[in-house]
Amino acid sequence: MLLGIKKQSINSSSPTVETMQTILTTFQLLQRDETEPLHDIRLVTILRFWGEVLVGEEYSVYVKRIKRMGLNERNSHFFWPHYKHDTKQASFHTTVDLNTHSDQFTVILQRLLITSEMIDFCAAVTKSVSEVRMGFYDQFKK
């Protein structure tokens, strides 16, 4: 058993249609189009929110669960370290230390977002990323 699931079940599982769609949509969001005026903001926004902030939030739930299974900060080699180094620790509008990956991307975005149009664009991209991620989790409500 691994985290309450038989290892064979994990090894023999296949991604669902919803999971494959999430992966495909995420790759489409990440496709680089340098002719797009704000492409750099789009990519940094996606990397920060999809790759760091949401990971930290999701892992905050996972670490509570794996704690009940005997894994902790000392013996967890994957979830705890990622939870620690990805989680957003500072608000977007504050000066942040370079503590986590989320915070490091925040510093980059703070430098890039210099007009209200850019801020609105960043917010729209964040909303798109959030919708894709929620689409992934919606499959478990069925």
Catalog residues that contact Fe ion under the rule CB under 5 A. 52, 86, 101
Q: How many residues does the chain have?
A: 142
Query: What 8-state DSSP symbol labels residue 34?
Result: T
104 vs 130 by CB, closer to Fe ion: 104
Work out how close the CB of 98 gets to Fe ion at its nearest, in angstroms, rounded to a whole number. Answer: 13
The residue among 22, 89, 25 whose CA lies nearest residue 53 is 89
Work out how close the CB of 81 gets to Fe ion at its nearest, in angstroms, rounded to a whole number. Answer: 10
21 vs 82 by CB, closer to Fe ion: 82
Beta bridge partners of 2: 5
How far is 2 from 78, CA to CA, in rounded Å?
13
Nearest residue to Fe ion by CB is 101
Work out how close the CB of 49 gets to Fe ion at its nearest, in angstroms, rounded to a whole number. Answer: 12
Work out how close the CB of 22 gets to Fe ion at its nearest, in angstroms, rounded to a whole number. Answer: 19
User: 3-state class of 116 per DSSP?
Assistant: helix
What distances in angstroms separate CA 101 from CA 51, 57, 121, 132, 142, one per listed residue? 9, 13, 22, 21, 33
52 vs 103 by CB, closer to Fe ion: 52
56 vs 132 by CB, closer to Fe ion: 56
